[in-house]
Each structure stands twice: as C-alpha cells, then as structure tokens.
Structure 1
Amino acid sequence: MKHTFAVVLTPDPDDGGYVVTVPALPGCITEGDTYEEALQNARDAIALYLEYMRDKGEPIDEVPPSTITFVEVG
C-alpha cells in the first residue's frame, strides 16, 4: 500500500544542503546535500519508519494532505 506524506525541506545555512522533517511522523528527520538527495533520503527514512511501526504492530494511520502556506508579519 502506498502512502503520501508531506515533507518539509529547510535549507541548512551552516552546512549547506537541506534538513528534512516529516510532520506526520514525529522524529522522522533526515538530510541531503542536494534537493534531490534530500527527497530520496526522506523516502528512505519514511520507509524505515513505517517498517518499524509494522514490526511493532502499531497502526499506520492515513494522514490527510497538509496545507502549507506563508504568513507575512510586520
């Protein structure tokens, strides 16, 4: 079964590349030197996270699509 997750790629100003978080999966964090590498690492990290949940017998809840927007302040 395929799952779709929102991922957040944040540029890392100190080391370059991107830090990737998965809001629906607490603690699922990875990184990559390029945008493409960061996305592939996110796929790998999510797959491992889901495998761990399956091994522990925990349910994998369907997560509704996220909406990401920007808010201007000041």
Structure 2
Amino acid sequence: MKYAIVFERTPSGYSAYVPDLPGCVAAAGSYEAVEKMIREAVLLHLEALRGDGDPIPEPSTSVGSVEVSVPR
C-alpha cells in the first residue's frame, strides 16, 4: 500500500502525518529522521489496526500542487 504523507517544517524541525490514518504522526529534528519515523509509525499503526480487528483503510488521499503568481 502507498499512503500519502504530509511533511511540514516546524520551529524545531519537521512533522509528518498520514491523512488516511488518523493519529499516525511523527516529529523529528530533521527531514531524514521524520521520514524514517513516519514510515515506522505507519507500520505500527497498521499492525495495531489489524491486532484490534479493525479494517485497514485503503489509501484515498492524493497530493498535488499548484503554481500561482502573486502580484508585487
């Protein structure tokens, strides 16, 4: 499965969350560290859902970007 992950810069480093997995979050001082942590968090989150007998959500979030020109 391939889940979309949102990475955000914070005053102390980076945070990440998975929109399709509420509560699946990570925070770290560097992008590399938070990327590793969120990958582990997703695996643990899915294992917990399975262990509780809950369904595993299908990935449904898509990510895109738009370019805009801001008048000066």
TM-score range, shorter chain: 0.7 to 0.9
Match of 1:53 in 2: 49
Identity %: 35
CA RMSD of aligned residues (A): 1.9
How much has 1:67 moved relative to structure 2? 2.4
Does the residue aligned with 2:41 lie in a helix, a strand or coil?
helix
TM-score (norm 1): 0.79
Return 5+ residue gaps in structure 2 as ranges.
Answer: none
Contact in 1 for aligned 2:24/2:41 (Cα 8 Å) = yes
Pair member with larger Rg = 2
Structure 2 counterpart of 1:9, which letter? Answer: F
- Unpaired runs of 5+ in structure 1? none
Report the TM-score, using the length of structure 2 for normalisation: 0.81
User: Which structure is richer in relative contact order (CA contacts within 8 A, separation 6 or more)?
Assistant: 2
